[in-house]
A and B are shown apart, each in its own frame.
Chain A
Amino acid sequence: MSILHTVNKSPFEKSSLDSCLSMAKEGSALLLIEDGIFAALKGTAKESQMKDASQKLKLYVLGPDLKARGMAEERVIEGVEVVDYAGFVDLAAAYDKVSAWV
């Protein structure tokens, strides 16, 4: 049983990312969407936490949400894969269930 977690909050405003990471088990995945994408960027205070998370989780970020916020893919932390909405659908299908940290 594995979970696709989604986080849609900026980690600089809300604690959803921390809560999600504290409960995400090895082998599950995290997709950052909406304002959650700010956790996927290099050179932020969250970078090391995300790098640690990438040791046990598959990390994804929604490309259209990055682009909308003026963030080029080059700014995304290595180990975080950029996907589009079709990719989001594929992930939701590939994992057994989806947990939205709204």
Chain B
Amino acid sequence: MSEEDMMDDEIVKKFMFVNRRAPYGSIYALESLEVVLIAAAFDQDVSLVFSDDGVFQLKKEQDTAGIGMKNFSPTYRALEMYDVEKLYVSKTSMDQRGLTKDDLIVEVEVLGDEALADLMDDQDVIFSF
């Protein structure tokens, strides 16, 4: 069966979600995560990239009790259950911010700029929030 013959709901596109903002200071990180979960439910080929301040979204030991907001970082650990397993983190951004893989709440692949550029190039749709 050729791609044209496939039903609409069988189209699988490569969706990349680019997360470049820290959590809590604004709602972008949380609402981005909500789209990721829906995209996964639509069986799309989902990749998440965390770069710039987006790497702070994955920091372990977030405790929001003192600011009266919901800690949504456990959701990143639940992504696996939604078959969202392609999580990439910018090495440059991690280095700039003094973070290492040990600081992160989930297992990720750490990539240099060039590898991230290739990855982005390989996508069909890029979502930015």
**Within the complex, are A and B direct neighbours (CB within 8 Å)?**
yes
Chain A positions within 8 Å of B, measured between CB atoms, are: 1-3, 15, 19, 22-25, 28, 97-102
Given known contacts A23-B116, A24-B117, is B128 in contact with A100 (CB within 8 Å)?
yes
Instruction: Please tell me if the beta carbons of A97 and B126 are within 8 angstroms of each other in the complex.
Output: yes
Instruction: Please tell me if the beta carbons of B125 and A1 are within 8 angstroms of each other in the complex.
Output: no
Instruction: Please tell me if the beta carbons of A97 and B128 are within 8 angstroms of each other in the complex.
Output: no
Number of B interface residues in the complex (CB < 8 A):
18
Instruction: Please tell me if the beta carbons of B117 and A25 are within 8 angstroms of each other in the complex.
Output: yes
Per the bound structure, the CA–CA distance linking A97 and B20 in Å amounts to: 19
Instruction: Please tell me if the beta carbons of B51 and A1 are within 8 angstroms of each other in the complex.
Output: no
Per the bound structure, the CA–CA distance linking A100 and B17 in Å amounts to: 11
Chain B positions 86-101 with a Cβ under 8 Å from a chain A Cβ: 92
**B47 CB, min distance to chain A CBs, angstroms:** 13
| Cβ proximity bits B9-26 to A, threshold 8 Å, 1 near / 0 not | 000000000101000000
Known: A3-B121, A23-B113, A98-B126. 10 other contacts (CB 8 A): A19-B20, A22-B92, A23-B117, A24-B117, A97-B124, A97-B125, A99-B120, A101-B20, A101-B128, A102-B128
